[in-house]
Amino acid sequence: MSPELEARVQALEELLAHREADLNDLSDMVSQQWSRIETLERELARAKDRIVTLEDEVGEAPAANQKPPHW
């Protein structure tokens, strides 16, 4: 193999190795973000359940567009 061809092959192999490392880093980031999204979705669902429970305990609040009874 000619020296020029060997240099080109080596350059391509280095580029490929860097791209593989970048891809692995991105994959790890996506995995971490997905895990965080799932955690936040569970927390949101728990918060919604707590709000519903509190609303049930308190009862219905007056509608926002109704005047208070003393008016």
User: For the whole prediction, is pTM greater than 0.75?
Assistant: no
Those residues whose C-beta lies under 8 Å from the C-beta of residue 9, and which sit 6 or more positions away, are: 1
Tokens 């919604």, residue located: 48
Tokens standing for residue 2: 């000619």
pLDDT on residue 1: 84
Tokens 């190795």, residue located: 17
pLDDT on residue 63: 65
pLDDT on residue 60: 64
Domain ranges of the chain: 1-57
Dist CA 18 CA 5 (whole Å) = 20
Tokens standing for residue 53: 């429970």
Give me the tens of pLDDT residue by residue for the chain, a chain 71 residues long.
899 999 999 999 999 999 999 999 999 999 999 999 999 999 999 999 999 998 888 876 566 666 777 76
